[in-house]
Amino acid sequence: PSGIRDLLADVPKVEWDDIGGYEDIKQEIRKVVEWPLKYPEQFKKLGITPSKGILLYGPPGCSKTLLARALCTQCNLAFIAVKGPEIFSKYVGDSEKTVREIFKKARICAPSVLFFDEIDAIAPQRQGSTDVSDRVLIQLLTEIDGFESLKNVIIIAATNRPASIDKALLRPGRFDHLVFVDVPDREGRKAIFEVNLKKMKVNDDVKQGLQLLLDKTMGYTGAEICQICREAGLNALNRNIQNEFIEFQDFEMALSKVKSNITHEDRMQF
Ligand code: ATP
């Protein structure tokens, strides 16, 4: 019933090529999700259970959401996104109901990806049995344990704080596939700049100066590199509203404005 699917879920149009870099991770998550969908008989024959869940962890702005979306485009899966804090409503009891309903929706829309952004907000380390977040966590575990892996709902969760999620989530049969999505390396940054530059009208000196931009963006996230490109475009307009090309100087100026928010200490926690 594709009508229902369209109504309930978001069918994203992010292509793999819209994501600069992260080629290994793209391959890895494709395998985890595509193989069971394409070759379910092989899994049965060999007696192996596909992964139910993938946990993407790493600094903010490093393409986790984009990766989940591209996966859905590629495999034609409905995308149901839930932000951690959204689950907690003002009314006691409602949060657990929300969790149940989200899973129900995912089953109706199957094949689907149920994407929990900021899972650390939904499932922090347990505090004590009366806390509402403890009850939400238990509900979440019940839902995950309750369905069979082959029922075509894949759960993907993202977090910037992997150390603070409850360890019960990481047991086999739950989020048993962990993928670290770090800030991009030089090659990755180049690919992210290229994704952006492809859509922009830039002077030749920008291509010539690309190496310098790569030198100066060590430690920057994908989101921050996109921000630099946007800022460069605005700088060009600022110089002259009739400007037809964005120049290298616009990028240089953008660089001095957009600083990376990810510190060395932030990265060390992973
Ligand atoms: P958060 O943890 O804050 O939710 P995230 O890791 O999920 O962040 P995304 O939402 O995927 O990060 O990235 C934010 C935005 O940054 C994207 O919408 C996109 O515009 C840009 N971006 C991030 N990474 C890339 C990339 N590799 N290639 C192109 N654009 C990117």
The yes-or-no verdict on residue 110 having pLDDT over 60 is yes
Atom of ligand 1 nearest to the CA of 159: 2
Confidence tier at 122 by pLDDT (50, 70, 90): confident
195 lines ligand 1 (CB under 6 A): yes
Per-residue pLDDT, averaged over 98-113, amounts to 91
- CA-nearest residue for atom 10, ligand 1, is 65
Structure-block tokens of residue 270: 């992973």
pLDDT tens, residue by residue, 141-186: 999 988 765 568 999 999 999 999 999 999 988 998 999 999 999 9
User: Between 115 and 146, whose confidence is greater?
Assistant: 115
DSSP run (H or E) holding 178: strand 177-180
Q: What is the pLDDT of residue 3?
A: 67
Q: Ligand 1 pocket: which of 16, 63, 269 to mutate (most atoms <8 Å of CB)?
A: 63
C-alpha dihedral, 234 to 239 to 243 to 249, nearest 10°: -80
Q: What is the pLDDT of residue 205?
A: 96
Confidence tier at 87 by pLDDT (50, 70, 90): confident
ipTM score assigned to the predicted complex: 0.96
CA of 49 to the centre of ligand 1 (A): 31
DSSP 180: E
Mean pLDDT over each residue of the chain, to the nearest integer = 90
pLDDT tens, residue by residue, 35-78: 888 898 999 999 988 888 999 999 999 999 999 999 999 989 99
Count CB atoms within 10 A of the CB of residue 185.
12
Atom of ligand 1 nearest to the CA of 195: 29
The yes-or-no verdict on residue 129 having pLDDT over 80 is no
User: Between 151 and 258, whose confidence is greater?
Assistant: 258
The rounded distance, in Å, linking the Cα atoms of 87 and 176 is: 23
